[in-house]
């Protein structure tokens, strides 16, 4: 049985999805970094059971630290705050909601790339090909 967890693009496990970990290895409201090929991904399981994957690279500090950020919300939008300069990003769209009056490092967009996530038989899958 395939359970689709909150994703940017809802759907079952795709042919391009990569198994990352067992769902039981994730701690609610704490991020974890996963290296998929050359791409670092920050994975978050929230207290309500929603699962999100975004790029781990902070576009404002150019450090791979988003997985160490603080989860929260802005209204109904689940968020992650960067641990460096405290920019706040939507976990749904990757949009930077609060810039803290800073610009991203040259060559970086202000928003995070988001990736579809699915759970199949307790295994977490991320699809880098579906990143937005």
Residue 130: pLDDT band with limits 50, 70, 90: confident
Going along the chain from its start, the domains and CATH numbers come out as 2-130 (2.102.10.10)
Q: Give the tens place of pLDDT for each residue, 100-110.
A: 999 999 999 99
38-57 pLDDT tens trace: 999 999 999 999 999 999 99
CA-closest candidate to residue 54, choices 118, 122, 132: 132
Q: Tell me how far CA of residue 32 lies from CA of 12, 19, 45, 120, 125, in angstroms.
A: 22, 14, 9, 19, 14
- The CA dihedral of 103, 106, 107, 113, to the nearest 10 degrees, is -30
């Amino acid at each position: 049985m395939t359970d689709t967890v909150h994703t940017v693009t809802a759907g079952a496990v795709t042919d391009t999805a990569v198994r990352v970990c067992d769902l039981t290895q994730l701690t609610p409201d704490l991020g974890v970094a996963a290296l998929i090929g050359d791409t670092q991904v920050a994975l978050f399981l929230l207290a309500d059971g929603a699962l999100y994957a975004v790029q781990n690279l902070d576009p404002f500090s150019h450090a791979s630290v988003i997985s160490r950020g603080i989860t929260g919300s802005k209204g109904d939008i689940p968020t992650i705050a960067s641990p460096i300069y405290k920019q706040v990003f939507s976990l749904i769209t990757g949009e930077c909601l609060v810039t803290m009056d800073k610009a991203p490092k040259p060559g970086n967009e202000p928003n995070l790339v988001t990736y579809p996530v699915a759970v199949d038989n307790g295994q977490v899958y991320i699809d880098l090909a579906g990143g937005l």
